[in-house]
Chains A and B, each alone.
Chain A
Amino acid sequence: MSEKQTDFKTILQDLKVSFRFAAKNIVSFFLGMLGVLIVSVLLLAVVAILIFVPILIVVFSSGGGFAALEAFFLQVGNEWTTGFGITAIGLSSLIVIPILSPFFVAIGALFGMGREIVESEGTTAQGVFTWYKSKFGPLAAAGGLLFLTVLIPPSAIILVLGLGYGGLIIGLPAAGVSVFSTVWLVMSIGILSMMFPAVIDGVPVLQAYRQSVRMSIDYFDRVFGVWIAYLLLGIALVLPAVALSPAGPWPNLVVLGVYGTIMGLFLIFIVVPSFVIALNRVYLILSGDYGVPRDEEHPSIGMVGGV
Chain B
Amino acid sequence: MTENQHPASMKDLAIIDDPSTIKILFEPTRAEIVFKYLVNNAMTVKQLADALDKNPGTILHHIDKLKKAGLVVQERTEATVTGIVQRYYRATAREYRLGLSGMMQADNGVAQFAKKRLESMISALSVYGIEIPEEEAEDAIAILQPLIERENKVSASLPIRDQKVYRQLSESVQKDASRIMRRYVLDKDTEYQVLREKWHSFLRNHEQEKQRK
Chain A interface residues (CB < 8 Å from chain B)? 3, 13, 16-17, 20-21, 112-113, 115-116, 118-124, 127, 130-131, 134, 202, 211, 214-215, 218-219, 281, 284-297, 300-307
Across the interface, do B85 and A281 meet the contact criterion of CB distance under 8 Å? yes
Q: Which residues of B contact A295 (CB under 8 A)?
A: 168-170, 173
- Tell me whether B75 and A123 are in contact (CB under 8 A): no
**B129: Cβ under 8 A from any A Cβ:** no
Least Cβ distance of A27 to chain B in Å? Answer: 15
The reply to whether the CB of B175 lies closer than 8 angstroms to some CB of chain A is yes
Closest beta carbon of chain B to A89's beta carbon, Å: 33
Q: Indicate if B79 sits at the interface (CB-CB under 8 A).
A: yes
- Interface residues in B1-52 (C-beta closer than 8 Å to A): 1-3, 5-7, 42, 44-46, 49
The verdict on A287 contacting B2 (CB below 8 Å), with A119-B86, A281-B85 known, is: yes
A302 touching B172, Cβ below 8 Å: yes
- In the bound complex, do residue B85 and residue A285 qualify as a contact, i.e. CB atoms below 8 Å apart? yes
List of B residues within 8 angstroms of A219 by Cβ: 3
Cβ–Cβ < 8 Å partners of B168 in chain A: 292, 294-295
Give the chain A neighbours of B135 by CB distance below 8 A. Answer: none
Inter-subunit contact B87/A290 (CB<8 Å) = no
User: Are A285 and B79 in touch, CB under 8 angstroms?
Assistant: yes
B60 touches A115 (CB 8 A): yes
Q: In the complex, which residues of chain B have a beta carbon less than 8 angstroms from the beta carbon of A116?
A: 45, 56-57, 60
Q: A277's closest neighbor in chain B, by CB?
A: B83
B145 to chain A, nearest CB (A): 20
Residues of B contacting A289 with CB < 8 Å?
Answer: 1, 5-7, 74-77
- Decide: A124 near B55, CB < 8 A? Known: A119-B60, A215-B3, A291-B7: yes
Contact: A304 with B75, CB < 8 Å? Answer: no
Q: Which segment of B106-114, B176-184, B194-202, B205-213 sits at the interface?
A: B176-184
Q: In the complex, how many angstroms separate the beta carbon of B50 from the nearest chain A beta carbon? A: 9
Using C-beta atoms within 8 Å of the partner chain, give the interface range for chain B. Answer: 35 or more
Which of chain A's residues have a CB closer than 8 A to the CB of B86?
119
Q: Nearest chain-B residue to A211 (Cβ)?
A: B2
Contacts of B84 in A (CB 8 A): 118-121
In the complex, the answer to whether B87 meets A134 with C-beta atoms within 8 Å is no
Told that A120-B84, A127-B57, A289-B77 touch, could you supply 18 new A-B pairs with CB distance under 8 A?
A: A16-B83, A119-B44, A130-B57, A202-B67, A202-B68, A211-B2, A214-B2, A288-B3, A289-B75, A290-B77, A291-B76, A294-B42, A294-B167, A297-B171, A302-B176, A302-B179, A304-B176, A307-B179
Contact present for A293 and B85 (CB under 8 Å): no
Query: Does A294 lie within 8 Å of B170, measured CB to CB?
Result: yes
Residue of B nearest to A207 (CB): B2
Please name the 7 residue pairs, one residue from A and one from B, whose CB atoms are nearest each other, closest first.
A288-B77, A17-B83, A120-B56, A127-B57, A297-B170, A304-B176, A120-B46
Chain B hits for A306, CB < 8 A: 179, 182-183
Smallest CB gap from A113: residue in B: B57
Q: Is B78 an interface residue (CB 8 A)?
A: yes
Instruction: List chain A residues, Cβ under 8 A from B42.
Output: 293-294
Q: Which residues of chain B have C-beta atoms less than 8 A from A218's C-beta? A: 3
Is there an interface contact between A202 and B176, defined as CB atoms closer than 8 Å? no
Docked pose: A21 CA to B77 CA in angstroms: 19
Taking CB atoms, residues of chain A closer than 8 Å to B126 are none
